[in-house]
Structure 1
């Protein structure tokens, strides 16, 4: 699941790594999957690197409370100017390796003397650009090809993303390491939130590729029979949120609830109390909510597309998200107590097979 290199080409032998720089601007709890990946993989790398006497330099725009202040270097500048200022800094004070966990810009402009590694979370900007905001799409299309040519190591969060990368860039001859996300969430008995007694849960930024409209359509078929069943969506507003809100059936507005961004303890409570997580996404580079749900004893009904089958294995019910009757049937089936218990057990076991520590070890080994 993790640590597989999808290339016969290997990095040439290097001296022992003494210093690693990491871009931590987006490493925080309040963001989406990329932000959480940056936060947790940096934490795990620091823990593993300490055992190997590796010195870390964490580059950011403003102090990050999640990491020791003594390791942080503040770089000024907005947008691309931050990366240009970072380049100037590293030209005079290079590190042995630089990891870019959320952006392709610095690897694309780094001097050839600076070894870099970049993380590819997904290829939405290339494969599903109509479901993605135009500006990040433009930036990724502009920088990824150049970054791939210059970087020493490519890290993908899933085999599916690695496959997409190889398809889009067939002449690429660089090491590709799979270093998957994990989750530290666990079930909770908390009852602090005012929630319906039974609800289907959707988690993610309100954007087109999350395809929450498919959940609303399936719920419309179930609602007349399950009058106590509600839908709760937890996630910040995103690109074209208004379109998603307009898709809510008028007759069901009182039973479909949008919570916006929720804290980690609140998210744990939502997973722990939900009847199931429903994930009808049309594209996921990985899908961290899938792991989070399974780790919190919440069964999963999900789309059968892109990386989702790789992440959940046999621990979820997978359905074509464009087939509304089939999606509704899968949700209905998962509502059965015995079926639900089976998938809760499978999900807990599946979630335990992912580890931030193992991903960090594989990254350090490649460095």
Structure 2
């Protein structure tokens, strides 16, 4: 009998940033790896689907709608989130069947899956650790639901050892729930072909990610403007941060395709990614995989991903320390960082992620069945 898995695929209905990429790549790999041994059903917020839902067709329209939402007063925006949550819980209650295991890949588990063992992937604890980095409505929403719903999980997956430590530190009362760190993977398949590439500068620095304050994009922009040599290409949607500073050296690309992203990594002088807090830091891994030297900060999970294959900013992140790193990397052997990045990236793969996740889903289902036989 196949393992029947219910997946919260709502992240896939939004612009494909970190959680959506995790959900898509994990289950694409798992289905290719295990075939008929698993049967995956994707919940998109309304219905259960046999195939993964797709993201918004009109990304600019989606961005505009999100911008309007984030301009609402926090209490009203939180009420909207609560209403959507209740609607989705009713929807999943109407379509839920006798699945063997439910995998929550997003914010927190739905309450209506009590008769199904639950595996919950926690991506980071930034909302709890640093609420000042997030919209107030998101903080209020998380404070209302997260701890109560996380307690429903039979097993928790974290995307790094750092996040596992953070989860235990923030929620010691949930220490009875087993927590397993499983790294994300490098994605060779999505980088296989590069076509329809727009005209780009011959040489450039690269930043990948949203403009959230913890990413320090404003510091990167200030450093590159002061450096006055190569332009900075910025790939990623704006998020809830401030608009990017207008400057002839700054080229915002917005959300880009996987094909273009691979091309950007492969041809960049370096990726500048001095984030203050990451649950994993997928751009660091993707850049190393594409042979792009990486400048990052020695914060949170980033050393766990980059190890000694990246260049770390010394001291606090500022335009000055970023410029120092850019100048230091120019004087060093970039080929060494490129080769070291290739070696480090090979330690990560979606096949490993899929195998370890499948083992937990299967074991959680088995344990639940055995407990309910007693």
The question of a shared fold, defined as TM-score above 0.5 by the shorter chain, is answered with yes
Q: Which of residues 154, 157, 160 is equivalent to 1:158? A: 160
Cα pair distance change 1:66/1:115, threshold 3 Å: closer
Q: Distance in 2 between matches of 1:321 and 1:29?
A: 33
Contact 2:233–2:253 (8 Å) recurs in 1: yes
The offset of 1:39, in angstroms, is 0.7
The answer on 1:102 being equivalent to 2:106 is yes
Q: Distance in 1 between matches of 2:11 and 2:237?
A: 16
The offset of 1:78, in angstroms, is 4.2
Give matches, 1:229-244, under 5 Å: 229-242=230-243
Gaps of 5+ in 2: 54-82, 362-374
The answer on 1:308 being equivalent to 2:293 is no
The answer on 1:362 being equivalent to 2:356 is yes
Q: Distance in 2 between matches of 1:154 and 1:17?
A: 22
Q: Distance in 2 between matches of 1:68 and 1:43?
A: 9
Q: More relative contact order in 1 or in 2 (CA 8 Å, sep 6+)? A: 1
The answer on 1:169 being equivalent to 2:175 is no
Q: Which of residues 345, 353, 361 is equivalent to 1:351? A: 345
Contact 1:30–1:263 (8 Å) recurs in 2: no
Provide the residue aligned with 1:12 in structure 2: none
Provide the residue aligned with 2:287 in structure 1: 293
Provide the residue aligned with 1:19 in structure 2: 4
The answer on 1:84 being equivalent to 2:90 is yes
Contact 1:80–1:105 (8 Å) recurs in 2: no
Give matches, 1:180-329, under 5 Å: 180-185=183-188, 186=191, 192-223=197-228, 226=229, 229-242=230-243, 245=244, 248=245, 253-319=247-313, 320-329=315-324
Q: Deviations over 1:126-180 (max 9, x none)?
A: 1111111223322222222112221101010111111110110123211111122
Q: Distance in 1 between matches of 2:35 and 2:329?
A: 44
Q: Deviations over 1:93-151 (max 9, x none)?
A: 22110001113141xx1353221111100111111111112233222222221122211
Contact 1:132–1:209 (8 Å) recurs in 2: no
Deviates more, 1:151-160 or 1:184-193: 184-193
The offset of 1:341, in angstroms, is 0.7
Cα pair distance change 1:323/1:156, threshold 3 Å: same
Q: Deviations over 1:67-95 (max 9, x none)?
A: 379xxxxxxx94431123213432xx221
Q: Secondary structure at the match of 2:271?
A: strand
Q: Distance in 2 between matches of 1:138 and 1:31?
A: 24
Contact 1:207–1:239 (8 Å) recurs in 2: yes
Q: Deviations over 1:188-247 (max 9, x none)?
A: 776832222221100101221211112123224422xx3xx11111111210333xx2xx
Cα pair distance change 1:275/1:187, threshold 3 Å: farther
Contact 2:224–2:249 (8 Å) recurs in 1: no
Q: Deviations over 1:287-317 (max 9, x none)?
A: 1111111111111000111111111111101
Contact 1:158–1:307 (8 Å) recurs in 2: yes
Q: Which of residues 300, 321, 331 is equivalent to 2:326? A: 331
Q: Distance in 1 between matches of 2:86 and 2:298?
A: 37
Q: Distance in 2 between matches of 1:119 and 1:68?
A: 18
Give matches, 1:24-35, under 5 Å: 24-27=9-12, 30-35=15-20
The offset of 1:339, in angstroms, is 1.7
Deviates more, 1:118-127 or 1:325-334: 325-334
Q: Distance in 1 between matches of 2:165 and 2:112?
A: 26
Q: Distance in 1 between matches of 2:49 and 2:19?
A: 18
Provide the residue aligned with 1:72 in structure 2: none
Q: Secondary structure at the match of 1:27?
A: helix
Provide the residue aligned with 2:140 in structure 1: 138
Cα pair distance change 1:167/1:58, threshold 3 Å: same
Contact 2:40–2:50 (8 Å) recurs in 1: no
Q: Distance in 1 between matches of 2:46 and 2:169?
A: 37
Contact 1:191–1:269 (8 Å) recurs in 2: no
